[in-house]
Amino acid sequence: MAQDRAPTRIQRKNRAAILDAALEVFSAHGFRGATVDQIAVQAGLSKPNLLYYFPSKEAMHAALLEGLLDTWLDPLRDLDPAGEPMDEILAYVRRKLQMSREFPRESRLFANELVQGAPRIHDALSRDLKALVDEKVTILEGWMAQGRIARVHPYHLIFSIWSLTQHYSDFDVQVRAVLDTEDPFDGASDFIETLYRRLLSPP
């Protein structure tokens, strides 16, 4: 890494292993709660070796967050203004819920950051996130004006989708403490779909 050469296979593999281990540990304990030692053990490398690939603990965390926001917003980016409104929104909800199910660690990493005031990604939120949401809200407003979906506050509609879907990954322990047997996502999927059908069906 010291040189600006293209990384070798081993370097790529180690970097990926470190980032995966870091995701595991940061998402479970938060930035301060995580230790480089834990990450090293999880990655199967020594602590100084981690700091050979990344200049600091902070840098590992930053590398994770950097890639994350983009990926995280992909489901919303795919909302198609040319599609059938109800189908588009329900498809977005499904993509978002599936993301929570498949990538709970990423969701919790993000949640950890947000609940503590997003010190490291505040700028990206008010720039990239806001721009994307504003754009998609315009689409939603168009659909509402045409009477193709019911009229509700479009920003809160989007917040509700985030909140309902991520709840099952971020607060997973709580959900499982109450629903001790069943896979929470199965019931959640039907419930949330019904919810948006009833909320948004044109009057």
- Asked whether position 36 contacts DNA by CB under 7 A, the answer is yes
3-state class of 79 per DSSP? Answer: coil
Task: List, in order, residues 6 or more apart from 152 with CB less than 8 Å away.
Answer: 144, 199, 200
Closer to DNA by Cβ: residue 61 or 108: 61
Of 28, 41, 45, 139, the residue at the interface with DNA (CB under 7 A) is 45
What single-letter amino acid sits at 189? S
From a copy of itself, DNA, none, which one binds at residue 194 (CB under 5 to 8 Å depending on kind)? Answer: a copy of itself
CA distance 188 to 139: 26
* Residues that bind a copy of itself in the complex, under the rule CB under 8 A: 28-33, 108, 111-112, 114-118, 122, 125-126, 129-130, 133-134, 150, 152-153, 155-157, 159-160, 162-164, 167-168, 170-171, 173-175, 177-180, 187-188, 190-192, 194-195, 198-199
Closer to DNA by Cβ: residue 39 or 157: 39
Cβ atoms of 136 and 79 within 8 Å: the answer is yes
Provide the 8-state DSSP code for 36.
H
Residue 17 has which token pair? 């292993």
Q: By CB under 7 A, which span of 31-39, 65-73, 128-136, 190-198 interacts with DNA?
A: 31-39
Closer to DNA by Cβ: residue 31 or 196: 31
Residue 114 has which token pair? 């947000």
Closer to a copy of itself by Cβ: residue 45 or 125: 125
Task: List, in order, residues 6 or more apart from 95 with CB less than 8 Å away.
Answer: 74, 75, 78
From DNA, a copy of itself, none, which one binds at residue 4 (CB under 5 to 8 Å depending on kind)? Answer: none
